[in-house]
Structure 1
Amino acid sequence: FTSLRISSLNRHVKTHSDDKRHVCHLCLKAFHTATLLHNHVNVHTGTRPYKCSDCDMAFVTSGELLRHRRYKHTLEKLFRCSVCKYSSVEASKMKRHIRSHTGERPYACYLCSYAGKDAYKLKRHMVTHSGEKPYECCVCQAKFTQSGTMKIHMLQKHGENVPKYQCAHCSTFITRKTDLGVHLRNLHSYMAEAIKCSYCEAAFHERYALIQHKTTHRNEKRFKCDQCSYACKQ
């Protein structure tokens, strides 16, 4: 973390401390700073002191107001990717985007080998272990652990009631146009820096091509015993 102001640095340093002396009198939750406590109490009381000058919206924190103005009014995207043309309103989204270039997956599941690029994907994955099924089909009330599985179900079982958008680059069908855009960005956009296969020397500028290539390694027995001829997949 770096900052132009010493006050911002001091406030940041407190986040690494266990000292939470600012306690909410309504729920006893404790915070590092008086500002965080003040914002928290506003949530209890419904107070929204930060008002947008361009519309009727109001917010609990100044950060929420700033984010709203950038998304809805100024359309500023201050954070730009140095590898591709992607730009973002928020630093957190840029950090998540950069991982699509580096392949970094810092959010690891403690129950299996899964690792995700962000906390949301890990949270979504953890549902597969808990057995929880929060997504319900609006047509037949079938329940699913993930929204993507539910969308596939609706296409296959209730396709006549669901709009279909087919990817022009692969055989994928998607129910929402916005999801098609996400699919195209994540899997079919050109990456200036090629991603190398983790099993061989092949490298690709498109993530979908890499995924397709990796299926060719699926039945390989890469782990070999140095004492005998035994080999296994994992």
Structure 2
Amino acid sequence: MEPPLLYRTQEMVSPLQHQQAGLQQHQQESQGEERTNYFCPVCGKEFHGVRQRRNLKRHMMIHWGQKPYHCPFCPHRSNQKGNLKTHILKAHRELLDRGYTADDMVRDPSPVSGQAKT
């Protein structure tokens, strides 16, 4: 199942097109050209300015049900790295008392490790 298109205020493009156009857009934004506003097609939340496409993508994981960050100690999964760190700090405190840190336990997910809600 392919995720829905990401919407821009001027046009509709796929996530792959966003990625391919990333460098060109960065160069244009760095040269002071007009910044693009992105908005969530599900809830309408708007993201303004430079580098907001990445924030929209992270936001869309909530709607898509993707939880690519998983706890190494229990079945808990999270859609954001910071949320997993908070979980580890609260639920696995005894490991932190033994000298580990939450950063030691949280790793970036592989590109295909996201899991959709069932």
Q: Same fold by TM-score, threshold 0.5 exceeded? A: no
The structure having more radius of gyration, on CA atoms, is 1
TM-score by length of 2: 0.45
Q: Which has the higher contact order (CA 8 A, sep 6+)?
A: 2
TM-score by length of 1: 0.25
